[in-house]
Amino acid sequence: MDVNIAVVYYSATGTIADIAKEMAETAEKTGAQVRLRRVEESAPAAAIDSTPAWAANVAATAGIPVAATEDLVWADGVLLGSPTRFGNVAAQLKQFLDSLGPVWQQGLLADKIYSGFTSAGTGHGGHESTLLALSHTFHHFGGIIVPPGYTDPAKFADGNPYGTSHFDQGGTAPVDETTRAAARVQAERVVRFARAVKAGTTSVPM
């Protein structure tokens, strides 16, 4: 069963971009059609240029297409990633989500698989609150939320059942194998459930 998977993210300094790429590659390896998309940057150039890691990530990811409404409409499964910002979803990703009203109103975001991922600079600064905040939106969409739980030994290493999350230790710890393994588990799980739901909805009369 062919499924469409959208990996949509915001990343300032590259952590979430790394996790998103790992997820997109994993989904591709399962045979899914994958769209890796970054949401539009809305910060002023002066702010970006004042932080070398931010400017470097903007340059490094310039070739990744900007997310469009149609990417979510197209998808059977959606992985959404945001850095933790004051315990919450980054404004740039929220801005994209808030632009989806018209397709939401038509029911075009319902009945898909949704799953979230994040990263934070501290161990207790909001990994779970950010992932749960993302899930508020999934509920409004009528999405089917697929969390990773502790469904694989890799999840006992990264430790977050709500979604992959990386602790970047104040920007000093790049994405490591523990986080990558968790990202792969989550992406495979999203593909698996997207396939199951698509198979069910295309073969069972409603």
Ligand X SMILES: Cc1cc2nc3c(=O)[nH]c(=O)nc-3n(C[C@H](O)[C@H](O)[C@H](O)COP(=O)(O)O)c2cc1C
- Which residues, in sequence order, are CB contacts of 89 under 8 Å at separation 6+? 82, 97, 130, 133, 134
Smallest distance from the beta carbon of 176 to ligand X, in angstroms? 13
Nearer to ligand X, 25 or 111 (CB): 25
Q: Which residues bind ligand X (CB under 6 A)?
A: 11-16, 83-87, 119-122, 125-126, 168, 171
159 phi-psi bin (left φ>0, alpha ψ -120 to 50, beta other): left
d(CA 86, CA 23): 25
Nearest Cα to Cα of residue 38 among 83, 104, 76: 83
d(CA 64, CA 37): 6
Nearer to ligand X, 83 or 147 (CB): 83
d(CA 137, CA 108): 14
Nearer to ligand X, 108 or 173 (CB): 173
Smallest distance from the beta carbon of 15 to ligand X, in angstroms? 3
Smallest distance from the beta carbon of 178 to ligand X, in angstroms? 14
Nearer to ligand X, 3 or 23 (CB): 23
Smallest distance from the beta carbon of 84 to ligand X, in angstroms? 4
- Which residues, in sequence order, are CB contacts of 202 under 8 Å at separation 6+? none
- Ranked by CB distance to ligand X, the top (closest) residue is 125
Smallest distance from the beta carbon of 132 to ligand X, in angstroms? 14
Nearer to ligand X, 30 or 87 (CB): 87
